[in-house]
Structure 1
Amino acid sequence: MSSGTVNPNLLQSLEWRLVGPFRGGRVVAVAGHPTEKATFYFGGVGGGVWKTTDAGVYWENISDGYLNTSAVGALAVSESDPNVIYAGMGETSIRGNVSHGDGVYKSTDGGKTWKNVGLNDTRHISRVRIHPKNPDHVYVSALGHIWGTNEERGVFRSTDGGQTWEKVLYKSDKAGAIDLTMDPNNPRILVAAMWDAQRYPHQMRSGGDDSGIWRSTDGGDTWEDITRNPGLPKGVLGKIGVAISPAKSGRIWALVEAEDGALFRSDDGGDTWQNVSDNGDLRRRAWYYMHIYADPSDAETVWVLNLQCWKSIDGGKTFTAIPTPHGDNQDLWIDPQDSNRMIEGNDGGANVSLNGGNTWSSIYNQPTAQFYHAIADDRNPYRVYGSQQDNTSVAIPSRSTNGAITAQEWYQPGGGESGYIAIRPDNPNIVYGGAIGSGAGNGRLLRYNHETFEERVINVWPEFTGMGRGAEALKYRFQWTFPIELSPFDPNTLYVTSNHVHKTTDEGMSWE
């Protein structure tokens, strides 16, 4: 709507109301309060910062009105002063639909208010690490622009609570810091992972000469490149996750994307390394995951987040999958004083565990659904449609006969997590939904009939190539979220776009 066609005064009395769904969206940043055992935080890719004081039973947004961008890439609570919280903005998974940020925000009152404290051009921040004894001494690892080059990337340090920042580790304008770990027993020891990567419209580049592992033993004043130390891979490196063990001095974990990538461990502070696991499940879709966390009390226990959540209790030799409420696991915070207390973030939200991951809180109480598109039909009551990241498409009536709109009223009308939705204007029971869930580049398209509940696949090109195939295997290249549109002049004509424009006049039975 434009101001030229709609009188803005007509909209002043309108009030927003939440109609659902109440399931969470993608979460890549989590943290916990060091002493209040039921208090946790998460940062949503599409929802800002949220807080619970009852271990995940109820969540409250604490950043609305303060953040200029909604994608939180990193979150940290000061151990010495829990009122101090830092949020690094912009996620670092270089998807085609990646959400950028605008630097670092800081709260000094437990999240009641927030202030931007700089590094605005970092765009995508992977970690924030706070000195365990000094909340003003903070480090930020920033990936930088993912669609091109820029200078504001690498590892930054502030010793005055974010008033000023110093770039202490920088490799090049095409490589940024994707992970950063601090030794809590000696905060002057830092290990950073640099990632040489770039996103393009139909593809990405993960890996290059400037990827690697760097070590500092003087609080970031100087850094040593330990990428080629004995035991680590020799070729081109991609994304790397790093973790220092709080339970054993000198133990460092590195999860490395490379031709001979694996999970590596050093027991001498990074001087030498050994391959402890070449389990491919730990490195699946490396550009999207590669997250590793050391247990604070048991040196032999390590966690790796991927499509599944993996745990090893034998020093990385074997791993067991730990069930979580949703797949695509992105971040984990473990209480330094109690390994059973943790919060985990994934593509379905954030969930709390107080028993070491045996059980988790719900993700169906977080209105942070990351919707790509929304549309409404002409029925009475009208239905609102949307497509939610890493879930399904969803249709929700604008009102119900039960006095409230609950999960019983939600349903999937065809399509999937990323697609556009089109509704026939002459028959709102017929809905077309796009989806990429069948595999990037495939352009899945479905027709749904509300009256018969029939769902029919009407793909432009019927061949299914599956995920992980190269562009040469695809007849057409569809974006993650590709437009579909019904003609306003002829409801029988449907347009779909890949690297071409496609048209059907018989509801997808044939295409031209």
Structure 2
Amino acid sequence: MNRKILIVCMQLLVLIAISLIIIVLVDKNDQVITPDSFKAYKLKKRGNDTSRKPSEWFTLQRAYPYDSVPLKAYRRALERAIAVRNATLNMTELNCTLAGPSNVGGRITAMAVHPDEPYTIYAGAALGGVFKSTNGGENWQPVSDDVPSLSVGDLVIDPINPDCLYLGTGEANSSGDSYAGTGLYRTTNAGDSWEFIGLPESYHIGRIAIDPIDTDRIFVAVMGKLFGTNSQRGVYRSTDGGNSWEQVLFLTDSTGAVDVVINSSDPQIVYAAMWERIRNPQYRRVGGMTSGIWKSTDGGDNWFQLTRGLPAPSPNVGRIGLAVSDTDPDILYASYVDHPGNLMGFWRTTDGGDNWESRLVSPSPSTFSGFGWYFGKIWVHPTDPDIVYFGDVDMWRSTDGGAHWYSIMGSMHVDMHAMYQDPNLPEYMVVGNDGGVFISQNGGGYWTKCYDLPITQFYAITIDNQLPYRLYGGTQDNSTPRTLYGGMDDWDVIFYGDGFYTNIDFNNSNIIYAEAQYGWLGKSTNLGQDWEQILNGIDGNERCNWCTPVVMSPLNSRVLFYGAERLYKTTNGGQ
């Protein structure tokens, strides 16, 4: 009898042990990180907070005690940095060495291609200045390091003199890390040197348009301050090649010009997209009553708003993109995004803007991103006015005048900001996005990434204390790159999304803590091959910043601190 009881007890113990193992494994699997779990986390954190408050920590630690960095102080610091760099170029003990990565890429906001030499490409980075390639993107050289702003808003080549380029500084995409510029610059020797030619308080430049017949006549779409209001925004015009400027279209101190295009057959006809938006580190509003499309028929002297068939003025009308067909300039396309950032649709006119019709049939607007204020550019095929492209998370193309759209993104990185299509060989396309520069030789069927382009934007960097040649960093939209061998071009990308703070266990280099947006924290114990989420104990309902601070104790590598609405601490490495 006792033997039977003992056997039954042993069987029960085995069953309990197996159950506990299953429970642990299930719980463990619930913490394994996958792309779907990351997406679900992001959507939960965003919730119904349309302002999304993404940059409070990132911005205020740089601007304190102000809401934004004072422009004059910013410019002084940039000029001082250039002076120090130039003074120490030949001093080995003081000169910095580029550590990379050259094989990851970063956000491209503007692009210009030589009209007669399509393999000569100029790429403008969100925070890296202008790079030039003369061999179709195989190799790149920085050409604007002496310009006191590394943030590129737009870049355009004089259509008659390709050695002359205009650089508008200050990215106009209205993200928290869209840095202000210091005005407009010109080179007359293909980028060898640049001169400042005006608009010092433009802050952010959306587009530069040059009269194709009289190239001394230039229009600039100026967005003005991102974190605040100012009157130096709207459309500016120069009639002497940039030596002097006048403001020819102004609406309000919170409404800037984000796009401007010229009728190539009759350059007296100019169109401008005006965008009302205002934000600060804790708030974003990307729409307003004064957002709309304006037209001039006398070279910019007088303007009137286009309304027939377009969305009615509303507090929720946001960013507008414009494109005019070069082969039939009466055909224009407009993309509209609302507040808080959803696509409203596409409109087309065939009579120069007198009448517009809504074009979008499929896919539904919800297919596109919910943060359209970050993109907003549209392009027309150089020889076929029915083919149109739209930059969003994907690169979209329509072959029926904007009615039906399909993605041609292929293997490209996400988030499209710039595009060029060769009018003489339309199969040749160059695209700039958050991953760098991509080239297609077959009209978008296949894309090749360009390397040798060190423009990755780092939020934070980390050194492996045991193996200090191993560098890690969290980056804008390129996750967490790292080098295990200390090379320029041997970086690989681990983890997900935008990368932020990375912490390496100073007792065990195989243990890595990495973070994505809104404080999504992961841990790897095998040098980044596998990851588990370690947010147990952190209230998922608390608001976390886009760039959530995570710090490892210098005394105990199992102790980490996590800053949400409250400060959290783990003493067991997040377990």
TM-score normalised to structure 2 length: 0.78
2:385 aligns with: 299
Residues 94, 287 of structure 1: 8 Å contact kept: yes
2:166 aligns with: 86
- Note the C-alpha offset of 1:231: 4.3
- Match of 2:428, SS state, is strand
Q: How does 1:176-215 map to 2 (within 5 A)?
A: 176-215=256-295
- Note the C-alpha offset of 1:85: 0.3
Distance 1:119 1:411, change over 3 A: same
Indicate yes or no: 2:346 matched with 1:263.
yes
Amino acid at match of 1:103: G
Distance 1:478 1:121, change over 3 A: farther
CA distance in 2, matches of 1:172, 1:286: 22
CA distance in 2, matches of 1:412, 1:33: 33
Amino acid at match of 2:395: C
Distance 1:415 1:345, change over 3 A: closer
1:502 aligns with: 568
Amino acid at match of 2:503: A
Amino acid at match of 2:352: G
Amino acid at match of 1:360: W
2:446 aligns with: 359
Indicate yes or no: 2:429 matched with 1:349.
no
Indicate yes or no: 2:426 matched with 1:339.
yes
Distance 1:148 1:268, change over 3 A: same
CA distance in 1, matches of 2:527, 2:439: 40
CA RMSD of aligned residues (A): 2.5
1:459 aligns with: 535
CA distance in 2, matches of 1:179, 1:170: 14
Amino acid at match of 2:308: N
- Note the C-alpha offset of 1:136: 2.5
Residues 443, 460 of structure 1: 8 Å contact kept: no
- Match of 2:513, SS state, is strand
Residues 170, 180 of structure 2: 8 Å contact kept: yes
1:194-250 Cα deviation digits (max 9, x unpaired): 111122324411111121111111111111011x32343453311111111212232
Distance 1:51 1:426, change over 3 A: same
Larger strand percent: 1
Residues 235, 258 of structure 1: 8 Å contact kept: no
CA distance in 1, matches of 2:189, 2:493: 41
CA distance in 2, matches of 1:28, 1:496: 33
- Note the C-alpha offset of 1:504: 1.8
CA distance in 1, matches of 2:214, 2:318: 33
Distance 1:308 1:451, change over 3 A: closer
2:208 aligns with: 128
CA distance in 1, matches of 2:375, 2:254: 20
Amino acid at match of 1:140: V
CA distance in 2, matches of 1:24, 1:175: 32
CA distance in 1, matches of 2:447, 2:281: 37
CA distance in 2, matches of 1:351, 1:394: 19
- Match of 1:351, SS state, is strand
- Match of 1:287, SS state, is helix
Amino acid at match of 1:147: F
1:422 aligns with: 503
Larger helix percent: 2
Distance 1:341 1:413, change over 3 A: closer
- Match of 2:185, SS state, is strand
Amino acid at match of 2:140: W
Distance 1:256 1:414, change over 3 A: closer
2:108 aligns with: 27
1:400-444 Cα deviation digits (max 9, x unpaired): xxxx6643xx344546523111233343432222211xxxxx320
CA distance in 1, matches of 2:403, 2:528: 52
Residues 154, 208 of structure 2: 8 Å contact kept: yes
2:314 aligns with: 235
Indicate yes or no: 2:497 matched with 1:431.
no
1:139 aligns with: 219
- Note the C-alpha offset of 1:359: 3.2
The gaps in structure 2 that reach 5 residues or longer are: 1-87
1:63 aligns with: 144
The gaps in structure 1 that reach 5 residues or longer are: 1-7, 437-441, 464-473
Indicate yes or no: 2:125 matched with 1:44.
yes
- Note the C-alpha offset of 1:341: 3.3
Aligned residues: 479
- Match of 1:344, SS state, is strand
Residues 420, 484 of structure 1: 8 Å contact kept: yes
1:368 aligns with: 455
Indicate yes or no: 2:460 matched with 1:394.
no
CA distance in 1, matches of 2:443, 2:395: 12
Indicate yes or no: 2:550 matched with 1:484.
yes
Distance 1:195 1:116, change over 3 A: same
Distance 1:56 1:261, change over 3 A: same
Of the three residues 308, 311, 331, the one matched with 2:394 is: 308
